[in-house]
């Protein structure tokens, strides 16, 4: 336990000193502010800058429009930033040979994997929580009368999917000696989920639905129970991929 805590502390300090922490929180804070503001200001901006003689009739923006921006920007932009920041978790250790000394002194290899996952999952949770809180706060401020259902559950679904991607990144980092390999591995994992969605009746089990059906939850088109299966499968995959990462790293030559 002492080795785990020490290595996890080292990961947090390193993430902060390389300014990745600043970048992560700045991006998610900006996304949290941008989502409701974009929904609120877009109709006014279009009306103001539209060429003379051209008229576009847009309805009044609602709280649902704000969350629509959230579930468009966070999966497309936020998760990409997360992937870029965490893709080199293991490759940096390989290139600098920093693990050899610690492992030869008795540090269990599983401690390395679990410490890195702890740091990455904690940073993702904190940054994502900040983004949700800021978006929610601005949305309530602009649209006090709009009531939406399942906001916490919809946000929880996307958090689970982000966690799954982080664990996939770690596994990719274990397999490959550079961050590009980790990114390609994770991109292939996501691409495979899109391909699987082509098969009828698979969508209700596919983890990708946790990042794609959030608005359906908010407007009542989908019920919470419809996403229980993807959540369970995602959690099983998280545990399985973590165990695979440990097993592969135990046999990897440094």
Q: Is the pLDDT of residue 5 over 90?
A: no
Two tokens, residue 12? 């947090």
Question: Does residue 141 belong to any structural domain of this protein?
Answer: yes
Q: Is the pLDDT of residue 101 over 90?
A: no
Q: What's the pLDDT at 47? A: 57
Are the C-beta atoms of residues 219 and 151 closer than 8 Å to each other?
no
Exposure letters 91-100 (e unless 16+ CB within 10 A, then b): bebbeeeebe
Q: What's the pLDDT at 94? A: 72
Sign of the torsion formed by the C-alpha atoms of 158, 159, 161 and 166: positive
Where in the sequence is the domain holding 30, given as residue range(s)? 2-35+63-251
Question: Per-residue confidence at 132, pLDDT binned at 50, 70, 90?
Answer: very high
Question: Does residue 53 belong to any structural domain of this protein?
Answer: no
227-244 pLDDT, tens digit per residue, is: 999 999 999 999 999 999
Query: For the chain, what is the radius of gyration of the CA atoms?
Result: 21
Total domains in the fold of the chain: 1
Report the predicted TM-score, pTM, of the whole model to 2 decimal places: 0.90
DSSP string spanning 48-84?
A: HHSPTT-----PPP-HHHHHHHHHHHIIIIIHHHHHH
Q: What's the pLDDT at 44? A: 63
Q: Is the pLDDT of residue 181 over 90?
A: no
User: What number of CA atoms fall less than 13 Å from residue 59's CA on the CB side?
Assistant: 5
Question: Does residue 49 belong to any structural domain of this protein?
Answer: no
Question: Does residue 124 belong to any structural domain of this protein?
Answer: yes
Question: Does residue 50 belong to any structural domain of this protein?
Answer: no
Question: Does residue 126 belong to any structural domain of this protein?
Answer: yes
Question: Does residue 55 belong to any structural domain of this protein?
Answer: no
Question: Does residue 181 belong to any structural domain of this protein?
Answer: yes
Q: How far apart are CA 144 and CA 183, in angstroms?
A: 41
Q: Is the pLDDT of residue 208 over 90?
A: yes
DSSP state of 144: T
């Amino acid at each position: 336990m002492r080795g785990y805590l020490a290595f996890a502390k080292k990961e947090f300090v390193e993430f902060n000193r390389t300014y990745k922490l600043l970048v992560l929180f700045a991006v998610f804070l900006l996304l949290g502010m941008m989502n409701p503001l974009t929904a609120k200001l877009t109709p006014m901006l279009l009306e103001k800058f539209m060429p003379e003689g051209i008229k576009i009739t847009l309805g009044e923006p609602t709280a649902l429009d704000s969350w629509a921006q959230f579930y468009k920007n966070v999966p497309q932009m936020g998760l990409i930033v997360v992937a870029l920041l965490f893709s080199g978790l293991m490759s940096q250790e390989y290139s600098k040979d920093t693990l050899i000394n610690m492992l030869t002194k008795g540090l269990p290899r599983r401690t390395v994997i679990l410490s890195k996952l702890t740091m990455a999952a904690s940073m993702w949770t904190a940054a994502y929580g900040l983004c949700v809180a800021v978006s929610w706060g601005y949305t309530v401020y602009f649209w006090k009368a709009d009531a939406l259902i399942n906001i916490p559950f919809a946000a929880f679904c996307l958090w689970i999917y982000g966690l799954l991607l982080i664990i996939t990144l770690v596994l990719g980092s274990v397999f490959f000696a550079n961050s590009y390999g980790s990114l390609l591995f994770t991109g292939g994992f996501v691409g495979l989920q899109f391909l699987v969605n082509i098969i009828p009746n698979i969508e209700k089990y596919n983890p990708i639905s946790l990042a794609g059906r959030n608005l359906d939850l908010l407007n009542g088109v989908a019920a919470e129970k419809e996403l229980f299966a993807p959540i369970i499968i995602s959690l099983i995959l998280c545990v399985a991929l973590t165990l695979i990462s440990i097993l592969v790293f135990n046999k990897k030559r440094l």
